[in-house]
Amino acid sequence: MTAPSLPIRHLDLSTMRADTHPGDEAAFSIFWWKELPLGMRASLPEELPFSEAQLRQFTAEYGAAQLSARSPALGAPLRATHEGKPKQALALSQLLVEHDLVGELDRLAAAPALPATQISVVICTRDRGEALAECLRSVTTQRSAPGEIVVVDNSSEGSAKPICGRFPGVRHVREPRPGLSIARNTGIRMSRGDVIAFTDDDVELHPGWIVEIGRAFADQSIDALTGLVLPARLDTQAQRMFQFDKGGFGSTFIPLRFDNRFFAETRPHGAHVWKMGAGANMAFRRNLFERIGLFDERLGAGAAGCSEDSELWYRMLANGGVCLYEPRAVVFHHHRRDLAGLRRQIRSYMKGHVAALIVQHDAFHDRGNFVRIFGQLPLYFLKSFLKGLLEGRRGQPATLAPEIAGYAAGLQFLFRPGWRGKHAPRLLIDGERA
């Protein structure tokens, strides 16, 4: 964490023989096997360049992890355990008859060429000018074009309109009522695709994003999808703090199925739905919204803070739905550059988290949510505090204060009159007019 800057580089292990990094500065390496993301690693200058043996070791370890998670002969697909980690299902007898593992990895990594016209991309934005332009550039250069691209403009002035105008085929929809959940719901109502894929205006998409979503939804048992969120830049201290101290948006490169068993396992202490993914990279089947309703407008940026995504996953799992976490669907997220922004974000995350737990408790009378609020979270604060104190780690206290502030702010929803009686809006089959 002492590195002054952390340039991001992409290494394709399928073709790489030697690392040419000069070893003069730190680097954040993201490893791929062709189109398949394998893993990532931050290194100080002394750790670079990677030796040939190290590259081979990364290939073997990352490759093996992909094979056991993706090759049906080796026990794939994997279910998530209650820690949100894969539950291995490898059988030695099947393994020993495999002969061409590298070839199998090649096959798994091959990108599909599927049409993606059944997919609507919905991007909610609010006064983010150039960031939105970058995002749209990556949406319009996808390998397979989506059926439609809807930008829901949540600004009061409609400031996104001229930017959308620069990209042919992008629909600009205004939603002046503030709130990310409201904007997303408007996006759902205004879109037509069978699958609705969400991303944010501070995100750039990998060119294969849409086609990977299409491939995943070809499996009819999937109701929702989340994907891998990689850092776009790690230039500032705030960005590195978010990525490394706060864990970024997750770091596993293994596809996982989140289903009712994951839900049941974690339910006693508040189903750990936040481990399933991030709102910057998620997709749903339209008929799921018809079944369980839309995003809860009490939650999300502009309202309680965030967690509108995880609350929807909670509702989905509680109703027997299945979410696939598919790290092949990759987006690159621009973390907040400044510390003040990071603190605000952390505060609002925690506030939204508590609010979502209250909403979940009320909707399903599930005490586990309160166990999380009054047991797990205070304990987590105490542990972080002691850890920061004892190890003298920089950064820990800096993010702890806004977390506790957010927690306290979230508790107000317990007592706010009228707030707890509301519900998420419904999606009627024939759209908004009904």
Partner 1 sequence: MTYRLVEFELSKPPPAIELTPEENGVGLIGRWNDQLVGFEMIAVHSGSTLSAEELRTLADQRFAPRVLIAMMEAELTAGGSRHKPLPSLSIAICTKDRAERLSRLLHSLDAVRDNSPFGQVEIVVVDNASTDSATREAVESFDGIRYVFEPKAGLDFARNAALQAATGALIAYLDDDVVVDRNWLMGLAKACSDNPGAGGFTGLVLPYRLDTEAQIYFERRGGFGRGFYRNEFRGSRFDNPLHPVGSGVLGAGCNMAFERALLIELGGFDEALDTGAPLPGGGDLDIFYRVLRSGRTMVYEPQFAVYHEHRETIAQLRRQYWSWGLGMMAFLVKSSRSDHELRSRHDAMVRWWFVDQTRMLVRAASALRGRDVRFGLNELWGGICGLAGEYDRSCTRTKAIRELNR
Least distance from C-beta 4 to partner 1, angstroms? 13
d(CA 187, CA 322): 22
State the Cα–Cα distance between residues 366 and 119, nearest whole angstrom. 34
State in angstroms the smallest separation of the CB of 26 from partner 1. Answer: 7
Q: Residue 90 has what DSSP assignment? A: -
Min dist. Cβ of residue 63 to partner 1 (A) = 5
Closer CB to partner 1, 143 or 387, in the complex = 387
Q: Please, which residue, 66 or 226, has the CB nearer to partner 1?
A: 66
Shortest reach from residue 346's CB to partner 1, in Å: 22
Q: Cβ atoms within 10 A of the Cβ of 51, count? A: 11
Distant-in-sequence, close-in-space partners of 34: CB < 8 Å, separation ≥ 6: 12, 14, 106, 109, 110, 111
Rg (Cα) of the chain, in Å, rounded?
Answer: 22
Helix axes 101-109, 52-70, angle to 10 degrees: 70
Read off the DSSP letter of residue 89. Answer: -
Task: Considering the complex, state which of residue 193 and residue 250 has its C-beta at the smaller distance from partner 1.
Answer: 250
What is the binding site for partner 1 (CB under 8 A)? 1-3, 26, 41-44, 46-47, 51-54, 56-57, 59-61, 63-64, 67-68, 74, 88, 90-93, 95-96, 98, 100-102, 390-392
Shorter beta-carbon distance to partner 1: residue 47 or 362: 47
Minimum CB distance to partner 1 smaller for 94 or for 141 = 94
Report, in Å, the least distance between residue 393 CB and partner 1.
8
Q: List 231's β-bridge partners, or say none.
A: 333
Q: Name the residue type at position 188.
A: I
Pick 87 or 291: Cβ nearer partner 1: 87
Amino acid at 434: A
What sign does the CA torsion over 386, 387, 389, 395 have?
A: negative
Which residues make beta-bridge pairs with 28? 8, 42
- Distance between CA atoms of residues 242 and 231, nearest Å: 10
| Cβ–Cβ under 8 Å, residues 410 and 353 | yes
Between 171 and 246, whose beta carbon lies closer to partner 1?
246
User: Which one, 108 or 210, has the nearer CB to partner 1?
Assistant: 108
Q: Locate tokens 């948006």: which residue?
A: 249
Whole-number minimum distance, CB 421 to partner 1, in Å?
43
Joined tokens for residue 239: 């960005």
How many CB atoms within 10 Å of residue 22? 9
- The CB-side HSE value for 101 (13 A sphere, CA atoms) comes to 16
Nearer to partner 1, 42 or 190 (CB): 42
Nearer to partner 1, 11 or 67 (CB): 67
CB 374 within 8 A of CB 358: no
Nearer to partner 1, 78 or 160 (CB): 78
* CA 50 – CA 60 distance, rounded (Å): 15
Alpha-carbon distance of 42 to 244, in angstroms, equals 9
Contact in structure between 88 and 71 (CB atoms under 8 Å): no
In the bound complex, what is the minimum distance in angstroms from residue 396's beta carbon to partner 1?
13
Q: Could you tell me if 300 and 184 are in contact, meaning their C-beta atoms sit under 8 angstroms apart?
A: yes
Smallest separation, CB 91 to partner 1 (Å): 5
Q: Which residues pair with 10 in a beta bridge?
A: 30
Q: How far is the CB of 96 from partner 1 (least distance, A)?
A: 6
